[in-house]
Structure 1
Amino acid sequence: MTLNRDPWWSAAVLVWAWLAVASSLSWWLMMRPVAGSAWLGAVPSVAMAHAAWLIAREWRRGPVVLRWDGLAWSVDDGRRVQAGQARIAIDFNRWMLLRVSSAWVPASAGGLPPGRWHALRCALVRHAPQASSPSSTVAEVLA
């Protein structure tokens, strides 16, 4: 199933990147009068570089192909294929954030026919990994 780039996800990445820059810059402006703080100028510079990298990465991202082969899920983003278990990290009914191996995959109902979206949701829930205990689930999420 091909999942096109989600404009809401792209907007969220843009907002978070600029919030990181703004908070780093405001912190730097508050700390500037402190003696011996010349090195603090590196903090907003690093934040701006990271924000630019995030925005460029999101801008270049194309469609993602999500597949179930009967044993595992795979994600093909055009650069590499990653296989593993698919976990629903966030589910807002018409929008989901999936975690497959080390890839974060935003999925939106907006780009799919209603029947395909429902089928994707059913397949993700049907083939979800079973947690053995609540503590193992927390450990897996944090890993």
Structure 2
Amino acid sequence: MIRDVIQDSHILLNMSPKDWQESIRLVAQPLLKEKYITQNYIEAMVNAVKQYGAYIVVGKGVALAHARPEEGVQKLGLSVMTLKDPIAFGNQENDPVKLIFCLAAIDSKAHLDIMRSIVHIINENWKINEIVAQKNLMDFKKTLEKIEENSKND
């Protein structure tokens, strides 16, 4: 579950980055600051989008920034950011993005539960809208918990 991995300090709400590159760098800052990832990992995430396109936009309005573990992951972590104004990443089907996750996976298996939880969120637009609408940490966490509990029953 997302709430089991994410720390309060890894939740950024109602942010205003100027473009997709800045949004990736911004959502990654809590993980960098707490040494979950290195600066190299952030650059690898940005470069991957430049090289392969906006494949990290995994659902309507949702991006999952990540890179390969060997590019600078030091421990499993997740951060999340909601955007005040949605940003285009270059994915015609799912732009603009209003919710961004940054995943630091230490290997190909450790993050599967987190991925499952993210999929449960992005499969219904109302869940994304409800999460993005939260303006303070307490409400964000309550909303995420409620959505994750509902997903267990799906």
Shorter-chain-normalised TM-score: which range?
A: under 0.3
Higher RCO structure (Cα 8 Å, ≥6 apart):
2
Q: Which structure would you say has the larger Rg? A: 1
